[in-house]
Structure 1
Amino acid sequence: MKTHLAKIYFFGVIALALAGLLSSPVALGLGFIFTLFFKHPFLQQSQKSINVLLKVAVVGLGFGMAIVETLQTSISSFGLTLFCVFLTVSFGLVLSRYLHLDKSLGHLITSGTSICGGSAIAAISPIIKADTKTITMALGVVFFLNALALILFPFFGHLLGLNQHQFGLWCAVAIHDTSSVVGAALNYGEEALHIATTVKLSRTLWIIPMSVVSMFLFKNSRQKIKFPFFILLFITAILINSSHILPEVITTTFVGISKHLLVVTLFLVGTTMSVSDLKTTGWKPMVFAATLWGFVSIISLFYILNFSV
Structure 2
Amino acid sequence: MPPVWHRALFFALAAGALIPGVSPALALGAGAVLGLTLGSPFPARGAKVSKWLLKACVVGLGFGMSLGAVLDVGRAGVLVTAAGIAFALGLGLLLARLLGVDRETGTLISGGTAICGGSAIAALGPAIGARAEAMGVALATVFVLNGVALYLFPAIGHALELSQHQFALWAAIAIHDTSSVVGAASSYGAEALAEATVLKLTRALWIVPLATGAAWLRQRRGAGSGGATVSVPWFIALFALASSVVALFPAGAPAYAVIVAVARQGLVLTLFLIGAGLSRATLRAVGVRPLVQGVLLWLAVAGASLAAILAWT
The question of a shared fold, defined as TM-score above 0.5 by the shorter chain, is answered with yes
Equivalences for residues 45-56 of structure 1 within 5 A: 45-56=45-56
Paired position in structure 2 for 1:71: 71
RMSD over aligned Cα atoms: 1.5
Deviation per residue, 1:105-144 (Å, 9 max, x gap): 0011111100000000111111111122111111111110
The answer to whether structure 1 residue 238 and structure 2 residue 243 are counterparts is yes
Paired position in structure 2 for 1:201: 201
The Cα of 1:216 is off from its aligned counterpart by 4.8
Paired position in structure 2 for 1:262: 267
TM-score of the pair, normalised by structure 2: 0.94
Paired position in structure 1 for 2:175: 175
The Cα of 1:304 is off from its aligned counterpart by 1.4
Letter in 1 for 2:247: S
Q: Percent identity?
A: 41
Question: Which has the larger displacement, 11-20 or 22-31?
Answer: 11-20
Q: Residues 186 and 193 of structure 1 are in contact (CA less than 8 Å); yes or no, is this contact kept in structure 2?
A: yes
TM-score of the pair, normalised by structure 1: 0.96
Q: Residues 172 and 181 of structure 1 are in contact (CA less than 8 Å); yes or no, is this contact kept in structure 2?
A: yes
Letter in 1 for 2:271: L
Structure 1 gap segments, 5+ residues each: none
Counterpart Cα distance in 2 of 1:171 and 1:44? 29
Q: Which residue, out of 267, 271, 279, partners 1:274?
A: 279
The answer to whether structure 1 residue 156 and structure 2 residue 156 are counterparts is yes
Letter in 1 for 2:299: G
Structure 2 gap segments, 5+ residues each: none
Q: Residues 106 and 290 of structure 2 are in contact (CA less than 8 Å); yes or no, is this contact kept in structure 1?
A: yes
Q: Residues 3 and 39 of structure 1 are in contact (CA less than 8 Å); yes or no, is this contact kept in structure 2?
A: no
Deviation per residue, 1:152-172 (Å, 9 max, x gap): 000100111100000011101
The Cα of 1:279 is off from its aligned counterpart by 2.1
Counterpart Cα distance in 2 of 1:161 and 1:176? 22
Question: Which has the larger displacement, 234-243 or 12-21?
Answer: 12-21
Counterpart Cα distance in 2 of 1:65 and 1:290? 34
Question: Which has the larger displacement, 185-194 or 11-20?
Answer: 11-20
Counterpart Cα distance in 2 of 1:71 and 1:294? 30
The answer to whether structure 1 residue 141 and structure 2 residue 118 are counterparts is no
Equivalences for residues 1-309 of structure 1 within 5 A: 3-219=3-219, 220=224, 221-244=226-249, 247-308=252-313
Counterpart Cα distance in 2 of 1:113 and 1:39? 27
Letter in 1 for 2:122: A
Deviation per residue, 1:67-87 (Å, 9 max, x gap): 222111111111111111001
The Cα of 1:218 is off from its aligned counterpart by 3.3
Counterpart Cα distance in 2 of 1:206 and 1:70? 17
Letter in 1 for 2:92: G
Deviation per residue, 1:199-226 (Å, 9 max, x gap): 0000001112211332255344332433
Counterpart Cα distance in 2 of 1:31 and 1:255? 23
